């Protein structure tokens, strides 16, 4: 492997990961997002996360575990177990984190309580997407080392579906903090998990990582993302009072992810 090959592969990962910044910029670009925009954006975020969880991440977990365990049925059961284990973990964390982010400063108004709930939603979303992007970055990096013809369309597809992921992070955090800058940088940070995953995977995990580890990780991450969508994003979208905009956003998010994932085929 030459340095130019390494640099090319890493540049692809970096550019695809940083496309979450585009989503962050779109989310913070409006001066005063109204309830309809908030409902649609949060619905879009949920649609992105639900579709990618059920159509990409969980099936990948099943495939990896089936390969590791040597039988499709056993691999499917293991993946389903990891999926619900991921849900259980994030549910326990959710119960342990108070409704108010700082328990020593309880919310004194309904608006303050709403902002603190949005803050928790945004941070959990950023963490879940960061976990998802970590192995995604490693996979993109490996494809870049192997074949430019394969790596470029893969990186483009990832970049496209990272844009709504950036929106998913930035929208609740902008509303929670009132800061466009913080929301934008949180969205960017979730995307930087991809180049980080590439470097750590190349330096440490490549000799030891196997299908079983990757399969369990993928399935658990899918469970985490589904829980966040159903417990945080959609309820928050409904609280705006714009039910139809939330549903339109949900469907649009699924459609965006469907198109971006089709680019892999």
Q: Specify binding-site residues for Zn(2+).
A: 136, 161, 165
CA 255-259-265 angle, 5° bins: 145
Where b means 16+ CB within 10 Å and e means fewer, 208-225 reads: eeebeebbbbbbbbbbbb
The angle formed by the CA atoms of residues 95, 111 and 170, to the nearest 5 degrees, is 70
Binding-site positions for Fe(2+) read 133, 136, 162, 165, 194
By CB neighbour count within 10 A (0-12 exposed, 13-18 middle, 19+ buried), where does 36 fall?
middle
DSSP label of 229 = I
Residue set of the binding site? 133, 136, 161-162, 165, 194
Rounded CA separation 118/113 (Å): 9
CB 195 within 8 A of CB 19: no
CB 21 within 8 A of CB 184: yes
């Amino acid at each position: 492997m030459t340095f130019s090959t390494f640099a090319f592969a890493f540049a692809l990962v970096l550019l695809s990961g940083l496309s979450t910044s585009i989503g962050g910029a779109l989310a913070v670009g409006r001066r005063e997002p109204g309830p309809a925009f908030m409902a649609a954006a949060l619905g879009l975020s949920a649609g992105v996360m639900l579709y990618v969880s059920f159509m990409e991440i969980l099936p990948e977990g099943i495939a990896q575990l089936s390969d590791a365990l040597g039988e499709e049925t056993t691999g499917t059961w293991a993946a389903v177990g990891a999926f619900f284990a991921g849900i259980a973990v994030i549910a326990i964390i959710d119960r342990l984190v108070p409704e108010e982010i700082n328990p020593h400063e309880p919310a004194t108004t309904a608006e303050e309580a709403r902002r603190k709930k949005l803050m928790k939603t945004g941070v959990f979303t950023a963490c879940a997407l960061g976990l998802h992007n970590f192995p995604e970055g490693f996979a993109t990096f490996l494809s870049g080392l192997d074949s430019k013809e394969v790596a470029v369309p893969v990186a483009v597809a990832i970049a496209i579906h990272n844009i709504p992921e950036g929106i998913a992070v930035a929208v609740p955090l902008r509303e929670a903090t009132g800061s466009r800058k913080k929301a934008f940088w949180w969205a960017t940070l979730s995307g930087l998990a991809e180049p980080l995953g590439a470097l750590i995977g190349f330096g440490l995990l490549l000799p030891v990582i196997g299908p079983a580890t990757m399969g369990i990780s993928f399935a658990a991450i899918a469970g985490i993302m589904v829980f966040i969508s159903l417990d945080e994003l959609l309820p928050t979208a409904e609280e705006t009072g714009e039910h139809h905009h939330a549903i339109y956003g949900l469907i649009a998010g699924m459609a965006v992810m469907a198109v971006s994932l089709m680019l892999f085929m």
